[in-house]
Amino acid sequence: MQHFPIFLALSERSIVLSGGGEAALAKLRLLMKSEAAIVVHAEAPEDEIVRWAADGRLTLVRRPLAEGDVKGAALFYAADEDEAEDKRTAAIAKAEGALVNIVDNLADSEFITPAIVDRDPVTVAIGTEGAAPVLARAIKADLEARLPATLGPLARIGKAFRKMAEALPHGRARRDFWQDYYFDAGPRAIAEGEDKVDAALDDLLTRHLGREAAPGHVAFVGAGPGDPELLTLKARKALDAADVVIYDRLVSGEILELARREAVMIDAGKEAYGPSTPQDQINQLITKHAGEGHQVVRLKSGDATVFGRLDEEIEACEAAGVSWHIVPGITSASAAVAGIGQSLTRRGRNASVRFLTGHDMKGFAEQEWSDLAKPGQVAAIYMGKRATRFVQGRLLIHGADRATPVTFVENASRVDQRVVSSTIGTMADDLAKADLTGPALTFLGLAPRAAQGALADNPHALQKELA
Ligand code: SAH
234 is catalytic: no
Domain boundaries, the chain: 14-113, 151-209, 217-330, 333-466
The residue annotated as part of the active site, out of 248, 300, 303, 385, is 248
Check pocket membership of 216 for ligand 1, CB cut-off 6 A: no
What's the chain's average pLDDT? 91
Check pocket membership of 441 for ligand 1, CB cut-off 6 A: yes
CA distances to 337, 350, 370, 372, 392 from 367, in Å: 22, 18, 9, 8, 12
Check pocket membership of 409 for ligand 1, CB cut-off 6 A: yes
From the CA of 383, give the closest atom in ligand 1.
Answer: 13
62 contacts 43 by C-beta, under 8 angstroms: yes
pLDDT in tens, 289-307: 999 889 999 999 999 999 9
pLDDT in tens, 441-452: 999 999 999 766
CATH class of this structure's domain 217-330: alpha beta
**Would you say the pTM of this structure is higher than 0.95?**
no
Check pocket membership of 336 for ligand 1, CB cut-off 6 A: yes
Q: Does domain 333-466 have CATH number 3.40.50.11740?
A: no
**Cα-to-centroid distance, 225 and ligand 1 (Å):** 7
- According to CATH, the superfamily of the domain at 14-113 is NAD(P)-binding Rossmann-like Domain (3.40.50.720)
pLDDT in tens, 142-156: 998 888 888 899 999
From the CA of 384, give the closest atom in ligand 1.
Answer: 15
Q: What is the pLDDT of residue 458?
A: 47
Average pLDDT (167-177) is: 85
pLDDT in tens, 331-386: 999 999 999 999 999 999 999 999 999 988 888 989 999 999 999 999 999 999 99
From the CA of 304, give the closest atom in ligand 1.
Answer: 1
248 is catalytic: yes
The total number of residues shown for the chain amounts to: 467
Helix, strand, coil shares of the chain as percentages rounded to 5? 35, 20, 45
Average pLDDT (127-135) is: 86
Q: Is 41 exposed, middle or buried (0-12, 13-18, 19+ CB in 10 A)?
A: buried
Check pocket membership of 339 for ligand 1, CB cut-off 6 A: no
